[in-house]
Structure 1
């Protein structure tokens, strides 16, 4: 890694998109993943919501 970097020709906000949606990965054991995916299809809810609800209970 260099001691100094030259950002004088950098462009602020070049890759910023205000309407971007971030989706963080969820890593589950295969059997838990299968059950969660089944529940998402049955209930029409995203897996992230089910996992968060399951974790909070």
Structure 2
């Protein structure tokens, strides 16, 4: 059995900026390096056209629960 060569030859130039490469994989398994991905159930997703509207609704909910107080908010 051959042993794997654990050393990698780095032939890239120092001026290459690999952080600017885009991720090519598409679909729900896609990686995003600029934020947090949250999966919405279909019934919830049809009420929100984009991430901005989801964030607005969540911020509103946060404001309301802070005004009411944690002792008066019921949990399901």
- Superposed pair shares fold, TM > 0.5: no
Q: Which has the larger radius of gyration?
A: 2
Choose between structure 1 and 2: higher helix proportion: 1
TM-score, with length taken from structure 2: 0.37
TM-score, normalised on structure 1? 0.45
Higher relative contact order (CA 8 A, sep 6+): 1
